[in-house]
Homo-oligomer: A and B are copies of this chain.
Amino acid sequence: MQIMIDIDSNTPMFAQLIEQIKKAVQTDSIKPGDGLPSIRQLANDLNVNNKTVAKAYQLLERDNVIQTKGYRGTFVHPDAKANCSFDLNAWVFEKLSETIETLRKAGATDSEIRIAFGDVINNRTFKEKEA
């Protein structure tokens, strides 16, 4: 498995990592149980920050594509191939599309929608905007 990172790409580096590792799983380039390079090592090889690799690994583990076993390292998840096919971000995109379409049809301004969205995601209860 070889990973290439394009610094000048429009897609962020951690996303490139996720893409390529998923592709490696889908093409059987790496199989369940295989060990992945450690965060520090991969970061060093690619000349990126540890946190960038760690971010990619965390998201991959959340999606059950890889598994981290503490001090023992990181491994490909048993059901990696199946879990690769589900794209959480695509699903999030769809759900938000539906909701926003509803709000727009109700006459809400994009600006209003954006503000309400910001309030919700920052756990600001409605109309409670302090100084």
Q: Tell me how many residues of A have a C-beta within 8 Å of chain B.
A: 36
Within 8 A of B (CB), among A72-99: 88-93, 95-97, 99
Do A107 and B93 form a contact, CB below 8 Å, given A100-B120, A100-B121, A121-B114? no
Chain B residues positioned under 8 Å from A99 (CB to CB): 95-96, 99
A110 touches B116 (CB 8 A): no
Do A91 and B120 form a contact, CB below 8 Å, given A10-B129, A10-B130, A129-B11? no
Beyond the given A10-B130, A90-B127, A100-B117, could you list 17 further A-B residue pairs with CB under 8 A, ordered by the A residue number? A59-B109, A88-B107, A88-B112, A89-B108, A89-B112, A89-B126, A91-B106, A92-B103, A92-B106, A92-B108, A93-B126, A95-B102, A96-B103, A96-B117, A97-B120, A100-B121, A110-B121
- Chain A residues at the B interface, C-beta cutoff of 8 Å: 10-11, 59, 62-63, 88-93, 95-97, 99-100, 102-103, 106-110, 112-114, 116-117, 119-121, 126-127, 129-131
